[in-house]
Structure 1
Amino acid sequence: MDKKVWLITGVSSGFGYELTKQILEKGDIVVGTVRKDTNVQDFMRQYPDTFFRQFLDVTDVSAISDVVKNVYDKLGKIDVVISNAGYGLFGAAEELTNQEIDQIIATNLTGSIQLIRSVLPIMRKQKHGRIIQISSYGGQVAFAGNSMYHATKWGIEGFVESVAKEVESFNIGMTIVEPGGARTQFRYGSAQVANLLPEYNDNPAHAFLNMLNPENGLAAGDPVKMAERIIESVEVEPAPLRLVLGSQALEDTIQVLEERVRKFKEQREIAASTDFQE
């Protein structure tokens, strides 16, 4: 059986690491990107013929194109791309610095957009491909103290949903993965916290402090099972546009969307009042 070629960003920890581990175990080829030479040495030793490390900072747009080109030139195809690199930034909107805002947009949003744009010509030429964008149920549900994280996730979801319609005829499927809380370094290691202002103490904007403290209980999501569901989704036809992982994430999303629809329906008269009366 022909091995699939997977390109995955951010494989040194979290979902990226677990996805890479499982894909290599099933015998496929993974090109995994990292910013630093850490945590993937075991993959390089154990899978010298099927794991290929690439250094990449997804905020470097030209480097994204170079990596994609290198993968295609070396392996002749790219079957699946998992746009996984990203991080969380917590704090009230006015607590964030301009640099923190620019960095998370460049990483979570612009980096994901440019990765997808770079791979589309290859997948269109080879007449197949699957693109998986790791988002969050925070791409549908918003919490205080997470404004810029939500901005990047809501933004990338709109981008992917639009592009999915553009490339469907080329046999390219796109899936937005919306995990709930999981026991990964995203929550308990890589999350960044703004310089907090005392004015927001006892404010919903600082509720995330309880969530980030493992002593208050660990997240319900099992990253091993979540990775399994993501990998399985690649074989589903047609590609599911969204994949919510975690029972609480799904219930929260349904509740928020149902309330949003209810509020929209209440505006029918106002909306119609702005139409030309022919």
Structure 2
Amino acid sequence: MAFTEVKKSKVVSERTILALIPQRFREKTSEALEKTELEEIRLRVNRPPEFIYQWGHQFMKSDPFTKSEASFVMNQLSQHSVYAFEEELRNGFLTLSGGHRVGLGGETVVEKGQVKTLKHVCSFNIRIARQMNGVAERFLPELFQEQWRNVLIVGPPQSGKTTLLRDIARTASYGHPTKKIPPRKVAIADERSEIAAAFEGIPQHDLGPRTDVLDRCPKAEGMMMLVRAMSPDILIVDEIGHERDKASLKEAMNAGVAVICSAHGRSMEDMQERQLLRTALGRPLFDRILLLNENKHGTLIVQRSVQK
């Protein structure tokens, strides 16, 4: 992409975010958006806006965000996704053009034990989407050895799991001639729109030319739909955890598809307790485990060395 196109895309992306921000906060927010370390913009009723950077956080020196300003933000958000607004409220987040996500906090409306929607929304987490290419580079010699290995990426929130999955998908789709990695068909089951950051079905991140995305579909069902319909070489999925997710992973692997996925956790012990590492017969489910920490550093573990 040419420099002028990148610059134009950045300007449009910033305008999308600034359109949500009440007027009196826009100048400071615009200044914060110029910093590549910015990760989140937090708006909470009765609190000043907060900027979350890679190096820490900073509250804006201003009067608190008000309830009427929360209503303004909600009105702006509804214009970005009118047709799916109620469904997105039920999920607790909305995805904007450019891949930015807005998490919502408020009062849930529950019917028959299920969350139907949110009301009295009073807190917003605007997560800035910045694609980071090349973060998977140092792990490629272990993740790809003549073929892509089955890999589980484990880490706490904001340790870089999704960013790494996204870069692996892009690399696998384009291929990597220098490392003798051929391009492959990639399928992504993106239940929470975090990997592709799809807006109206179109991925907002560059995931490569041979990547197909199933957006907002429950993971277990989505994985099977992709295996059966899209014949992928590699299946990528974020935040596995349930037994039904594990069953779908196993079925995909048995069909000859390489699976690369992530899960919340801080240690191998966490994964052992959740029984995500092995099959019912005690065999390793994954070839590689990649443990990430809060500083986004990774440690690779070969699964065959893990004890039952």
With normalisation by structure 2, the TM-score equals: 0.26
Between Structure 1 and Structure 2, the one with more helix by share is 1
Query: If each structure's strand is expressed as a fraction of its own residues, which one has the higher value?
Result: 2
